[in-house]
Amino acid sequence: MENLKKLCAGLLLSCMISCSAPMDEQVVKDYLSQSPAVTLYAPGYSEKKLEGCDEDYLGKKDGLWKNSEPTYYYKAYNYEVDRIEKFRKDDYQAVCIVYLLPDNLTKAGKILEDNSPRSPYKAQLKDGLDCEVVFKKIEGEWKLIVFKSLNFQRSYWYEEDQQPYGYTNLLQWDE
């Protein structure tokens, strides 16, 4: 239900953006700050159930082998728009690099990060998750047509399959 609310909010914001004529860095930041591609939580996993983290629990996948242990998945963190660089705009398109920083580390996320010496979260805290963003003006309306990570996969919990997926193309989560 939470994902549905975020998706609806993203669609509403998309409509508001596409119906408005101005396009600048602040419009891009405001749009992406509400996008499910940014706000949905990335999953983290553990080989054992984390105590006291029920509010962050997403699901469990059985082990691949007959006697292997299951893997438990938890909400770990989402993102915030940190900065926009190389913004260029003409009458037909706006292009920029957007840096997203991990944000809202959950209790489960903190436990998982404390036990992981190297992780995308730690790497992205330093440099950010850099994304190519392109808006095009189509029939007088600005539409987001490219939103992809340049150096990392962005992972999401897919509710229907009860498992995580990693993507470099973030646009599909914004539609």
Task: Tell me what pLDDT residue 8 has.
Answer: 44
The parent domain of residue 165 ranges over: 2-173
Q: What is the tens place of the pLDDT at every residue in 71-115?
A: 999 999 999 999 999 999 999 999 999 999 999 999 999 999 998
Domain total of the chain: 1
Task: Tell me what pLDDT residue 2 has.
Answer: 60
Residue at 137: amino acid letter = K
| Whether the Cβ atoms of residue 95 and residue 133 lie closer than 8 Å to each other | yes
Residue 147 Cα distances to 31, 38, 103, 108, 133, angstroms: 12, 11, 19, 28, 5
Confidence band of 21 (pLDDT split at 50, 70, 90): low
Determine whether 107 is exposed, middle or buried from the number of CB atoms within 10 Å of its CB (0-12, 13-18, 19+): middle
* Contact partners, residue 125, CB within 8 Å, separation at least 6: 101, 102
Task: Tell me what pLDDT residue 7 has.
Answer: 43
Task: Tell me what pLDDT residue 126 has.
Answer: 83
Task: Tell me what pLDDT residue 45 has.
Answer: 92
Task: Tell me what pLDDT residue 1 has.
Answer: 53
Q: pTM value?
A: 0.78
More reliable by pLDDT, 105 or 7 = 105
